C-alpha cells in the first residue's frame, strides 16, 4: 500500500478528529506540500468513488457522499494490498521511500509498511545499496534512528527516473489525465513546432525526468547548476524550445521552475538531440576533429578485436560522430541514459552488442 492509500485510510478512520497538513506530514515523514499534493491526487480518484477530501483551516477532513461506493473502493485497495510483491517491486518501493523521505527511515517501520519481514527487507537492502551505489548514492544507517540516503539532488533524480523507466513507457497503465501523458504531449507538441529531432526512447526518458522534476520542485528540492554553467547555456540554440516546454508545464501543474531547473531540462534536451545534416552540408562543419578522432579510435578497436574494418565506411563514421556529440554532453554533465531494450539487444544482436562494448572501451 503506497503513501496516498495509507493517507486515505487514515483520513477515513480518523474523520472525526481532523489533522492539519503539518500533523499528517509528521506522520508520513514528508513535507506539508507533499501531503497537499497527495490530497489533490487522491481527490481525482475519490470524487468518483463517493467522497471528497477537504482542506480547511480547522484541518483535513473527508466528506463521504456515498458510503457504500467508498467502502467498495477501499475494499479494492485492500484486495490489491494482498498481492504478493515481487522482489523488483519491493526494491523499487524501498528506493523511492529512501529518496523521497525527509527523515530517517527505521527498518521496522519500512518492513511493516510493505508487509514483509525484517529479514526479507534486510536481504533486499543488499540490492538497494548496489543500485544506489551506481548513482553515487550512499545509505547512512544509525542505530535507533534509522537509515537515510546521502547524495546530490541530481543523483536522486537520475536514480528515480531509472526505476520509473524500468518498464517500457507504452506498458504503463496510465489514466488519460495522468501527469505523464500530459507532459509527454507538451514535449511532443514543442518538438514538432521547433523541428527538434529526438528518438521516441529519449522523448519518453525526458518525460520521466520532467515528471520527477515537478514532484521534487513542489517538495522544495531544487538542482543548482551554478551561475557559470547557466551563463554558458544562455545562448544555446534550443533554449527557446526549452522555455516554451517549461512555460506550458508551469501552467498545467501550477509549479514554478527556477532558472537552474530550466537549464537542467535544456541540458537533458541537448544530450538527447539527434543531429542531422542538411542537404549539401558537410559533416566537418558540424562534427569537430576531436569527435572524429574518437570515432576512428572506436572503429580501430573493433577492427583489432573482430577483424571487421569499418574505418572507411564514411556514412557510418559520420553517423557515429553525430551520435557521439550528444553522448559527450551526457558525459560532461553526468547524465545517465537508460535503455529498457538493452537486454533484448544484448540477447538478439550479440555481435553488434559485443562490437559496441569494445568500441565504448576506448
The domain defined by 165-272 folds into PTS-regulatory domain, PRD (1.10.1790)
pLDDT at 12: 86
pTM value is 0.67
Q: Taking Cα atoms as reference points, which of 213, 193, 192, 186 lies closest to residue 268? A: 213
- Kindly indicate the confidence band of residue 200, based on its pLDDT and cuts at 50, 70 and 90: confident
**Intrachain domains 3-81 and 87-151 with the same fold:** yes
Top mean-pLDDT range of 79-88, 159-168, 171-180: 159-168
Inform me whether the pLDDT recorded for 311 exceeds 50.
yes
User: Looking at 155-159, 166-170, 205-209, 241-245, which range is the least confident one?
Assistant: 166-170
Inform me whether the pLDDT recorded for 297 exceeds 60.
yes
Q: What is the mean pLDDT of the chain?
A: 83
Domain definitions of the chain by residue range: 3-81, 87-151, 165-272, 283-359
Top mean-pLDDT range of 18-32, 277-291, 345-359: 345-359
Inform me whether the pLDDT recorded for 178 exceeds 90.
no
Pairing of strands 138-142, 146-150: antiparallel
Q: Tens digits of per-residue pLDDT, 86-123?
A: 888 889 989 999 998 888 898 888 887 777 888 999 99
Q: Taking Cα atoms as reference points, which of 102, 104, 141, 136 lies closest to residue 125? A: 141
- Kindly indicate the confidence band of residue 84, based on its pLDDT and cuts at 50, 70 and 90: low
Task: Identify which has the larger pLDDT, 299 or 316.
Answer: 299
pLDDT > 90: percent of the chain: 27
Q: Tens digits of per-residue pLDDT, 237-256?
A: 889 999 999 999 999 999 99
- CB-CB contact of 265 with 186 (8 Å): no
pLDDT at 279: 52
- Region 76-81: mean pLDDT is 71
- Kindly indicate the confidence band of residue 327, based on its pLDDT and cuts at 50, 70 and 90: confident
- Region 155-175: mean pLDDT is 69
The domain defined by 3-81 folds into Arc Repressor Mutant, subunit A (1.10.10)
- How far, in Å, CA of 295 to CA of 287, rounded? 11
Task: Identify which has the larger pLDDT, 319 or 356.
Answer: 356
* 297: Cβ contacts below 8 Å, ≥ 6 apart: 362
Inform me whether the pLDDT recorded for 175 exceeds 60.
no
Q: Tens digits of per-residue pLDDT, 206-240?
A: 999 999 999 899 989 999 888 887 887 888 888 99
- How far, in Å, CA of 4 to CA of 27, rounded? 12
Task: Identify which has the larger pLDDT, 177 or 257.
Answer: 257
| Environment class of 62 (CB within 10 Å of its CB; exposed 0-12, middle 13-18, buried 19+) | buried
The listed CATH number (2.70.150.10, 1.10.10.10, 3.40.220.10, 1.10.3720.10) that belongs to domain 87-151: 1.10.10.10
- Region 186-205: mean pLDDT is 90
Q: Taking Cα atoms as reference points, which of 178, 245, 258 lies closest to residue 217? A: 258
- Region 198-204: mean pLDDT is 86
Inform me whether the pLDDT recorded for 195 exceeds 50.
yes
Q: Cell 539532488 sits at which residue?
A: 153
Per residue, the 3-state secondary structure of the chain, as one string, reads CCHHHHHHHHHHHCCCCCECHHHHHHHHCCCHHHHHHHHHHHHHHHCCCCEEEEEECCEEEEEECCHHHHHHHHHHHHHHHCCCCCHHHHHHHHHHHHHHCCCCECHHHHHHHHCCCHHHHHHHHHHHHHHHHHCCCEEEEECCCEEEEECCHHHHHHHHHHHHCCCCHHHCCCCCCCHHHHHHHHHHHHHHHCCCCECHHHHHHHHHHHHHHHHHHHCCCCCCCCHHHHHHHCCCCCHHHHHHHHHHHHHHHCCCCCHHHHHHHHHHHHHHECCCCCCCCCHHHCCCHHHHHHHHHHHHHHHHHHCCCCCCCHHHHHHHHHHHHHHHHHHHCCCCCCCCCHHHHHHHCHHHHHHHHHHCCC
- How far, in Å, CA of 281 to CA of 285, rounded? 7
Inform me whether the pLDDT recorded for 171 exceeds 70.
no
pLDDT at 348: 85
Amino acid at each position: 500500500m503506497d503513501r496516498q492509500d495509507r493517507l486515505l485510510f487514515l483520513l477515513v478512520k480518523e474523520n472525526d478528529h481532523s489533522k492539519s497538513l503539518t500533523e499528517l506530514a509528521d506522520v508520513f515523514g514528508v513535507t506539508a506540500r507533499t501531503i497537499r499534493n497527495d490530497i489533490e491526487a487522491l481527490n481525482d480518484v475519490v470524487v468518483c468513488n463517493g467522497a471528497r477530501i477537504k482542506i480547511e483551516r480547522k484541518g483535513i477532513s473527508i466528506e463521504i457522499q456515498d458510503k457504500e461506493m467508498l467502502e467498495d473502493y477501499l475494499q479494492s485497495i485492500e484486495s490489491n494490498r494482498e498481492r504478493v510483491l515481487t522482489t523488483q517491486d519491493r526494491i523499487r518501493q524501498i528506493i523511492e521511500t529512501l529518496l523521497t523521505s525527509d527523515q530517517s527511515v527505521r527498518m521496522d517501520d519500512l518492513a511493516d509498511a510493505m508487509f514483509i519481514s525484517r529479514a526479507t527487507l534486510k536481504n533486499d537492502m543488499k540490492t538497494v545499496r548496489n543500485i544506489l551505489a551506481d548513482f553515487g548514492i550512499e545509505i547512512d544507517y544509525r542505530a535507533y534512528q534509522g537509515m537515510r540516503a546521502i547524495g546530490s539532488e541530481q543523483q536522486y533524480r537520475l536514480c528515480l527516473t531509472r526505476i520509473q523507466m524500468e518498464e517500457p513507457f507504452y506498458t504503463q497503465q496510465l489514466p488519460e489525465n495522468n501527469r505523464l501523458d500530459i507532459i509527454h504531449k507538451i514535449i511532443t507538441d514543442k518538438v514538432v513546432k521547433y523541428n527538434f529531432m529526438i528518438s521516441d526512447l529519449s522523448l519518453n526518458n525526458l518525460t520521466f525526468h520532467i515528471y520527477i522534476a515537478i514532484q521534487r520542485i513542489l517538495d522544495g528540492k531544487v538542482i543548482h547548476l551554478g551561475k557559470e554553467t547557466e551563463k554558458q547555456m544562455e545562448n544555446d540554440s534550443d533554449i527557446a524550445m526549452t522555455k516554451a516546454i517549461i512555460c506550458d508545464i508551469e501552467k498545467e501543474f501550477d509549479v514554478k521552475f527556477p532558472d537552474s531547473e530550466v537549464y537542467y531540462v535544456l541540458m537533458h534536451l541537448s544530450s538527447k538531440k539527434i543531429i542531422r545534416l542538411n542537404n549539401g552540408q558537410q559533416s566537418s562543419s558540424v562534427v569537430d576533429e576531436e569527435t572524429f578522432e574518437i570515432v576512428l579510435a572506436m572503429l580501430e578497436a573493433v577492427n583489432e578485436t573482430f577483424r571487421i574494418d569499418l574505418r572507411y565506411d564514411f556514412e557510418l563514421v559520420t553517423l557515429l560522430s553525430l551520435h557521439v556529440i550528444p553522448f559527450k554532453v551526457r558525459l560532461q554533465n553526468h547524465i545517465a541514459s537508460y535503455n529498457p531494450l538493452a537486454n533484448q539487444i544484448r540477447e538478439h544482436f550479440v555481435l553488434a552488442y559485443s562490437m559496441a562494448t569494445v568500441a565504448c572501451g576506448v
